[in-house]
Structure 1
Amino acid sequence: MTGKHHVDADVDVDDRGPDTSGSAIRSLGARDRPDSGGRARGRADSGGRADSGGLALARGLGEVLLTCGVVLLLFIGYEVWVSNLFADRKQAQAREQLTTAWQRGQDPLKGEDRMNLPIGKQVVLPAGQGFANLYIPAFGKDFARTVVQGTSDRDLDAGPGHYVSSQLPGQLGNFALAGHRVGKGQPFLNLDKLRPGDKIVVQTAANWYVYAVLGSRPAYLAAGGIADPAKREAAEVAALAALDSQGVRGREIVSPEAVHVIAPVPNHPLATPARALLTLTTCHPKYSADQRLIVHAQLSRAAPRSGSSLPRELPGGTI
């Protein structure tokens, strides 16, 4: 959530003509052979030094690349595994603190998450404080995250963070959350796997809220019958991107500056909301922050919390 000999042998020819004198031959031999050998050794030494320098350069470059590779692996290891360990610890603390508060009859939201509460009603919460739990059955039966207030780096290290300018669960408007895609707990690692109609469940001190991902579910189901993988994928993407009656898509990919996706009516900042929505945002693609992956869902039903009973959308749920 990456840089860039061929050696010719000299041949000495003596053109002074033949010499029958042994002394001359001996003299030539005594005089020229050492010189010729010296020149040959000089050339060999020069080539050796060139080869040695090339090997040293290659060896040095290899060591630099190896070091860079090790550093990169360590960085990835930290981002993906070590940061997850720290984030999991912070998430566990947030969840424990919220559970304790609820057991003591304390509601961080002060009951302001009532259905159809007029837009604009906000509750002042300390940054990083947990106030709700998030369940996404499509991510597995064990997926549960405590939602904290705020979207700073520090807040998101503890779990999915609530955009403080957006609405609360169940309220008219848009309850918007941000979460890491890879590393630091990676709560929204598989956000791209959500399909039209998939349920997202939010638990507060008083209520359960069940949201359904927008998009055309019939079109998505029909796409599953397309044999060609490329065409099937294109049809599924189109089904998720289908606009509803208020011009809101189930899924979209936008630039980081596209803040209008968390407006009370996503992408229509001047529109008056008439329903409760949920928006999840994360980085896109994985291992990059170039863009944002956005999923929108609509509140389909709500139920008051009753003891340890769970909504039927969760494993073992009955209410």
Structure 2
Amino acid sequence: MSTESQSQHQGRRSLFRAGIVMVVAGLLILGYVAWELYGTTIVSKQRQREATSRIEQAWGSGETEVSTEFGSAEALIEIPRFGDDYRIPVLEGTSDRALGAGFGHFEGTADPGEVGNFALAGHRVTHGEPLRDLPELRPGDEIRVLTREKRYVYALTSGGDDLIVPFTSIWVTDPLPDNPERGGVEPEQVEGQRLITLTTCSELFHTDNRMIAFGKLVSEEPTR
């Protein structure tokens, strides 16, 4: 084989190897995307069911403080607009572990039914995506918060996509959120209210901005 033929042969082999590497890399990327979009949600929905079952069993046996493998739990959330079977646990804190099993309760914000702001975070896509359909919510929609002792019903005062802020806008979790933009979406500026705030990513595949919905307590009743 001539030197030129050998060079061409080696060139074809190098191209073939590079092609194989690119195909494998592409498959790995596709696999990762599929896992993020579908795999994490399947796993998280199972975790949501496990945490919900643990909470319900604990309440049934009289436990006041419920510990799950995903963190301390304090409540369950029902949103009628999302369906009769929508029931998501609330875990303390906003760690990846907590958000991978339900809603995360921002530390330092009010507890269910308390004066102040019961502020929650949830994924909009992947990891169970409990707030995927947040844009569908409208003012007046109910957010039901179940604890061992009471059921608190909040009514939204803003729509699910009425307010989008940068992720650095921590004012939305204040006891009485006060929008720094004059005329912007905010709760009624009256002290002593019992509020709820839902936060999630505003874009499905980016996390730079947050979509915010505010609500206020309209009723409460014993659960037993």
Aligned with 1:129: secondary structure?
A: strand
Give the deviation of 1:57 after TM superposition.
Answer: 6.8
Kept in 2: contact 1:98–1:130 (CA 8 A):
yes
Q: Deviations over 1:42-66 (max 9, x none)?
A: 9xx979967994x667655544443
Q: Considering only aligned residues, what root-mean-square deviation do their CA atoms show, in Å?
A: 2.9
Q: Tell me the TM-score normalized by structure 2.
A: 0.82
2:176 corresponding residue in structure 1: 265
2:184 corresponding residue in structure 1: none
Kept in 2: contact 1:157–1:184 (CA 8 A):
yes
1:252 corresponding residue in structure 2: 163
**Aligned partner of 1:214: which letter?**
T
2:201 counterpart (276, 283, 290): 283
1:311 corresponding residue in structure 2: none
Q: Deviations over 1:239-297 (max 9, x none)?
A: x49xxxxxxxx73111111111111112359x773211111111220022121111111
Kept in 2: contact 1:97–1:130 (CA 8 A):
no
1:297 corresponding residue in structure 2: 215
Q: What does 1:201-212 align with in structure 2 at a 5 Å threshold?
A: 201-212=144-155
Structure with more strand by fraction: 2
1:74 corresponding residue in structure 2: 31
Kept in 2: contact 1:284–1:293 (CA 8 A):
yes
Aligned with 2:148: secondary structure?
A: coil
1:93 corresponding residue in structure 2: 50
User: Is residue 89 of structure 2 the alignment partner of residue 132 of structure 1?
Assistant: no
Give the deviation of 1:135 after TM superposition.
Answer: 0.6
User: Is residue 92 of structure 2 the alignment partner of residue 146 of structure 1?
Assistant: no
Give the deviation of 1:147 after TM superposition.
Answer: 0.8
**Aligned partner of 1:213: which letter?**
L
Structure 2 CA distance, aligned partners of 1:284 and 1:145? 20
2:124 corresponding residue in structure 1: 181
1:63–1:277 Cα change, 3 Å? same
**Aligned partner of 1:68: which letter?**
A
Aligned with 1:67: secondary structure?
A: helix
Structure 1 CA distance, aligned partners of 2:167 and 2:32? 24
Q: Tell me the TM-score normalized by structure 1.
A: 0.59
Kept in 1: contact 2:70–2:101 (CA 8 A):
no
1:5 corresponding residue in structure 2: none
Structure 1 CA distance, aligned partners of 2:28 and 2:72? 35
Off by >4 Å, runs of 4+ in structure 1: 45-53, 55-62
Of the two, which has the highest radius of gyration? Answer: 1
Give the deviation of 1:204 after TM superposition.
Answer: 0.9
1:197–1:56 Cα change, 3 Å? farther
Structure 2 CA distance, aligned partners of 1:56 and 1:301? 73
Structure 2 CA distance, aligned partners of 1:50 and 1:72? 31
Kept in 2: contact 1:179–1:186 (CA 8 A):
yes
Give the deviation of 1:175 after TM superposition.
Answer: 0.4
Kept in 1: contact 2:65–2:74 (CA 8 A):
yes
2:142 corresponding residue in structure 1: 199
Give the deviation of 1:103 after TM superposition.
Answer: 0.9
Listed as ranges, the gaps of 5+ residues in structure 1 are 1-41, 110-125, 216-239, 242-249, 307-319
1:61–1:263 Cα change, 3 Å? same
Aligned-residue identity in percent: 34
Listed as ranges, the gaps of 5+ residues in structure 2 are 181-188
1:116 corresponding residue in structure 2: none
1:105 corresponding residue in structure 2: 62
**Aligned partner of 2:75: which letter?**
A
Aligned with 1:91: secondary structure?
A: helix
Kept in 2: contact 1:147–1:160 (CA 8 A):
yes
